[in-house]
Amino acid sequence: MPSIYSQDEASKDASLSTPTRSKSLRKVLSSKLPGFAHADRSDTATPRGGQSNGRDPPAGITVDDSEISKFNDKGNEFFGTGEYDAALRMYSEALKLLKQPNIIMDLEGDGNELMSEAMRRIRTARCLVNIGAVHIRREDFDDAISALELSLRQTKLVMSSSSLYYRACEVKADAAENIGLVFFKQKDYEQCSVMYTDALEARRKCLDLMEAKHKKWGRRSKDEARQYKDERNAVLLELSVTLFYTTLLLERLGDMKGAVESCEEAIRLRREVIPDSKQDPNSLNLFSTIGRLYCHESVKRHGNALGYFHEVHRMKCEISGRDHLDVVPSLNYLASIYKEIGDYKRSAILSDRAIEIATNGRGLNKQTCIAYTNLGDASKFLKDYEKAIDSYETALKTQSQLFESNDMMNAEVLEKLAEVYLLSKDNEKAIFSMEKSLYVKMKNLGPESQVLARSHSKLGDIYEAGGQHSNGINCHTRALRIFKHHDNKEMAATEHNKIATILKKSGENTKAMEHYMAALWHSREARLPSTDPIVADTIRNVAAFQQV
């Protein structure tokens, strides 16, 4: 399947400005004022001053908590408009106020009290997360790490016995996740994995603590119950975002099984909070990602992917309009999925629609190339080889104006073009296209790649179909050597079988028998079942030779 979204494109929102974060700004920008923790105030008063209700605050500079919140809120506003210098100034002012000895908190109708040391640490940690977010946006990664590590230190100073410990876990998760994001951007995936794991652990701990605290409350007012539900839902949404980031990391590491599980959990959590996806446009990235993962060659759950991409397409149409370029990626994926499940006519129709939108005065773009490639695929299966060739050649022509000649997208289309030329009995053009594809792959992947070995094998098939047995054997021998180098016994068995078949046609029965026996040995080592086509063909030919 052609790559409709590269991972970088799909994860371009996996930063501090994802739609999930932009709506509530909970991740890196929220001031998160005290919530239902006030129901238990045993930890709200500072150990040194106690409650200040009805008493004068201790001597020294006194700051109203609302002033800190104003700076944070203004910083959030600047961050949202991309004014990062101004945002940094606001967060820095909030941080200065948090260092003052006396901070008065309004208890929403229950008077005032001094901010506890635990709450001060939590608010300081959150402000440092905000500062780290600004540095990440400005790509000042060293400064970002410094601020975020300071934030982590503040959260670790909050005692686990504190009634506010769950809030410390929440901020700890924010800081760890954002450090992980920096490592992801720097391609340090090992450290990124460590931080994302810490963030997930902290989020789940926060959720457990909130639920345990809620159970101790007994009967509460409707407002308190609603407040608990809102805060719990916010944590669930934050957990879903951390799982989404983890999904992208696992996908980058090639752990498709883990990526699918992580993304599925993220979707379940969002649906628990917002059951109707029509009311949750922020689920767009999740749906696109799970659809892409289901389509991966190691997963192949195209039926599951289909529903998600229909939903993605619907949401894109609502957001951008049915004729906007933004809807083309989902059309391309739908076309590719319908091809995989055998509905080639629908695949062709969707590809034509994608081409119509992508070429309507919008200049050169990658989605046009993908749409033409999808149309070529559908046309090939519909046995309209002329249209398939025309579609692939148009894709290549467009790609030549967008990419370097050695881009891997060219290799993929050239290989598809070679297959159609072979089907239309034009072996010379098939060989030419496959050799060009091989050249591009070798430039990108090196001479020992198993991807390259598969292309050598396909070129060998083309030579063999044209009666060029010697060239065919040479290609399959190259493929065999690479597969053996990677200890891929299954593919080694396949290549031995193909070489034996060509030798048998050439009348070299002794050499053919040697390769059939080698194929049989490798297939047994690979534990292939006797029903496997290669195994069955090998056994049949070995038996035939023994009867002669």
Non-local CB neighbours of 281 within 8 Å, separated by 6+ positions: 19, 315, 319
Cβ(331)–Cβ(353) below 8 Å = yes
Q: How far is CA 367 from the centre of its chain?
A: 19
- In the predicted structure, residue 193 carries a pLDDT above the cut 90: yes
Question: What does the buried/exposed string (b/e) look like for 421-439 if buried means 16 or more CB atoms within 10 Å of the residue's CB?
Answer: bbebebbeebbebbebbbb
Could you read off the pLDDT of 211-257 as tens digits, one per residue?
888 777 667 788 888 888 999 999 999 999 999 999 999 999 999 99
Whole-angstrom distance, CA of residue 18 vs CA of residue 32: 19
At 243 the pLDDT is 98
- Amino acid identity, position 168: A
Cβ(312)–Cβ(287) below 8 Å = yes
Non-local CB neighbours of 54 within 8 Å, separated by 6+ positions: 111
Count of other CB atoms within 10 angstroms of residue 102: 16
Cβ(523)–Cβ(536) below 8 Å = no
DSSP single-letter state for residue 115: P
* Tokens (6 digits) for 410: 């060219």
- In the predicted structure, residue 13 carries a pLDDT above the cut 60: no
- Amino acid identity, position 166: Y
Could you read off the pLDDT of 316-326 as tens digits, one per residue?
999 999 999 99
- In the predicted structure, residue 2 carries a pLDDT above the cut 70: no
Could you read off the pLDDT of 19-30 as tens digits, one per residue?
233 333 334 333
Cβ(127)–Cβ(72) below 8 Å = yes
User: Stretch 347-357: mean pLDDT, rounded?
Assistant: 97
143: Cα within 13 Å, side-chain hemisphere? 12
- In the predicted structure, residue 526 carries a pLDDT above the cut 90: yes
- Amino acid identity, position 340: E
Q: What are phi and psi of 63, to 5 degrees?
A: -120, 140
Could you read off the pLDDT of 46-60 as tens digits, one per residue?
333 333 344 444 556
Tell me the pTM: 0.80
Please, what is the end-to-end C-alpha distance for the chain in angstroms?
45
